[in-house]
Chains A and B, each alone.
Chain A
Amino acid sequence: MPSPPPVRFRLNGQPTEVAVEPARVLLDLLRDDLRLTGTKRGCDLGTCGCCTVLVDGRPSLSCLTLARLVDGREVTTIEGVSPPQGLSPLQRAFVEVGATQCGFCTPGFVVTATAFLRDHPHPSREEIVRAISGNLCRCTGYLKIIEAIERAAAGGA
């Protein structure tokens, strides 16, 4: 088999070129090939939301995104939404209110909520609840996650 043609895309701001076969999803490319392990594999079937990344700014399930189809796009992972030093205001809010427990779902929530707050800087609680209703958390009962997003929104106002 000839090696597959490369995919060219921007990954966390940097131009990236990597050979990837068609039957490979973005999650596997990120975690296994590029060693960006912040994006988590929870169910691999598009349910849990642990693998959420941004594709052209839009939250996307990387386990259901063919890697070849990000050709020419901008992919941002949890590593990319985190500042080089310290934490983003949203991340700080997650830490302060205790919105992490086991932390496995956390990168997915942070990526989802980062995009959500960018588009809805002054959300209602109901909007927040809807926005995170595609990410599963088994530890927190979601309440502190909602509180963290509210806090980040209030701080950013």
Chain B
Amino acid sequence: MHLDPFELHRPTSVDEVVGLARDLAGRFDYLAGGTDLLPNYKMHLNLRPHLIALEGVRELRGRSLERIGAMERLADVEAESALLAAYPPLGDAVREIATPLVRASGTVGGNLLVETRCFFFNQSQFWRQSLGFCLKADGDRCHVVPQKQKCYATFSGDLAPALMAVDAEVEVAGADGRRRLPLEALYDPEGDGIRRLRLRPGELLTAVHLPAATRGDPGAYLKLRVRPSYDFPELGVAASGALDGGRVRRLTIAVGGAEMRPVRHDSLTAALVGERLSDDRIRALADAVERATRPVHNTFLLPDYRRRMVSVFVRRAVERLREGTAG
């Protein structure tokens, strides 16, 4: 397989990146680890004539308990035992991403912004052409939900639900300067599998900030997939929280791998604050999250099954959290 020609830019500072992004307005992709972008490019998916490689930008590096640079390799994060212990959902998630070889190159930022997936999209040019293409690349209809003019490609990153659950924030840089926003605000609830981020044109994800408030809180990330390696999540559920004297002080649930974006279910967990985490309450919460989650048939496992697993995974994740507190 070959890549079509593109121009490769290798900036060394965020300012330089922002300048390039302005100059190349919309005609470029950022290249982080390349483990998601380059397979897509080899399949001729939404090619752009310029790539801005971020690996030489030092400001995008750095790992601490407070901050992870967007260009930190997943394998390096995986080796930070103190960091992973401080944020258990992050630890669970990073160890489960793809394969060791993908984690060796793949980055934190890349996983947060990973392209949505669908088995009508992640196919070669030939394959897609034989079907008449789809909304997300070169076509004008969706093969998953043909009656809608909307893309249902699934958000398939593992880190996003895990980091959302621990109240992480992200820092972005753009022509208007730098700003910080809650991670969940990165994903557009009004969007779809194509228009999915609330980044301004050219904006660059520079870092993840981890709050002191949730540091050390128990939690878990549970991933559903066919094989214990390789596979993208067919469902990913993160739970994080804190109990005071057996009563909930904070509880968050975030679900990925099921819909077009990762979703944090604060409205469902809010009612539990101040309550004891009884089995019944956990079960009711799990069922509520399941009802709020609607996967479609565009991954390996059937959507009914994936949806049914939501409540099982939420329950197990919250039970792990509860056990983590007891221990």
Interface set of A (CB-CB < 8 Å, partner B): 21-25, 28, 44-47, 49, 52, 58-61, 64-66, 68-69, 112, 130-135
Residue from B5, B8, B75 in contact with A58 in the complex, judged by beta carbons closer than 8 Å: B75
Q: CA separation between A23 and B34, bound complex, in Å?
A: 12
With both chains docked as a complex, state the minimum distance between the C-beta of A85 and any C-beta of chain B, in angstroms. Answer: 29
Q: CA separation between A133 and B100, bound complex, in Å?
A: 7
CB neighbours (8 Å) of B213 from chain A are none
Say yes or no: A133 contacts B75, CB within 8 Å.
Answer: no
Say yes or no: B5 contacts A61, CB within 8 Å.
Answer: no
Say yes or no: A22 contacts B101, CB within 8 Å.
Answer: no
Interface set of B (CB-CB < 8 Å, partner A): 1-8, 10, 31, 34-35, 38-39, 42-43, 51, 53, 55, 75, 98-102, 104-105, 228-230
With both chains docked as a complex, state the minimum distance between the C-beta of B300 and any C-beta of chain A, in angstroms. Answer: 14
Given A46-B35, A59-B104, A69-B53, A22-B5 contact (CB < 8 Å) = yes
Say yes or no: B4 contacts A23, CB within 8 Å.
Answer: yes
Say yes or no: B99 contacts A133, CB within 8 Å.
Answer: yes
Shortest beta-carbon contacts, A-B, top 6: A134-B99, A22-B8, A134-B101, A133-B229, A23-B3, A44-B1
Which of B53, B101, B105 has the largest number of chain A CB atoms within 10 A? B101
CB neighbours (8 Å) of B51 from chain A are 22
Residue from A21, A45, A135 in contact with B101 in the complex, judged by beta carbons closer than 8 Å: A135
CB neighbours (8 Å) of A132 from chain B are 100
Given A134-B101, A135-B101, A64-B35 contact (CB < 8 Å) = yes
Closest to B41 in A: A23
With both chains docked as a complex, state the minimum distance between the C-beta of B3 and any C-beta of chain A, in angstroms. Answer: 4
Q: CA separation between A135 and B98, bound complex, in Å?
A: 11
Given A23-B2, A46-B38, A60-B104 contact (CB < 8 Å) = yes
29 A–B contacts, CB within 8 A, in A order = A21-B5, A22-B5, A22-B6, A22-B8, A23-B3, A23-B8, A25-B38, A28-B2, A44-B1, A44-B42, A45-B1, A46-B35, A46-B101, A46-B102, A49-B99, A49-B101, A52-B101, A58-B104, A59-B101, A61-B104, A61-B105, A68-B10, A69-B55, A132-B100, A133-B100, A133-B228, A134-B98, A134-B100, A134-B101
Say yes or no: A60 contacts B101, CB within 8 Å.
Answer: yes
CB neighbours (8 Å) of B101 from chain A are 46, 49, 52, 59-61, 112, 134-135
- Other A-B pairs beyond A52-B101, A130-B100, A133-B99, 9, CB < 8 Å: A21-B5, A23-B2, A44-B1, A45-B42, A46-B39, A59-B101, A64-B38, A131-B100, A133-B100
With both chains docked as a complex, state the minimum distance between the C-beta of B246 and any C-beta of chain A, in angstroms. Answer: 35
With both chains docked as a complex, state the minimum distance between the C-beta of A25 and any C-beta of chain B, in angstroms. Answer: 7
Say yes or no: B35 contacts A23, CB within 8 Å.
Answer: no
With both chains docked as a complex, state the minimum distance between the C-beta of B181 and any C-beta of chain A, in angstroms. Answer: 30
With both chains docked as a complex, state the minimum distance between the C-beta of A113 and any C-beta of chain B, in angstroms. Answer: 11
Closest to B95 in A: A130
Say yes or no: B53 contacts A66, CB within 8 Å.
Answer: yes
With both chains docked as a complex, state the minimum distance between the C-beta of A64 and any C-beta of chain B, in angstroms. Answer: 5
Say yes or no: A68 contacts B8, CB within 8 Å.
Answer: yes
Q: CA separation between A34 and B114, bound complex, in Å?
A: 33
CB neighbours (8 Å) of A28 from chain B are 2
CB neighbours (8 Å) of B99 from chain A are 49, 133-134
CB neighbours (8 Å) of A131 from chain B are 100
Q: CA separation between A22 and B41, bound complex, in Å?
A: 13
CB neighbours (8 Å) of A49 from chain B are 99, 101
Q: CA separation between A54 and B5, bound complex, in Å?
A: 26
With both chains docked as a complex, state the minimum distance between the C-beta of B115 and any C-beta of chain A, in angstroms. Answer: 14
Q: CA separation between A22 and B38, bound complex, in Å?
A: 12
With both chains docked as a complex, state the minimum distance between the C-beta of B263 and any C-beta of chain A, in angstroms. Answer: 28
Closest to B9 in A: A22
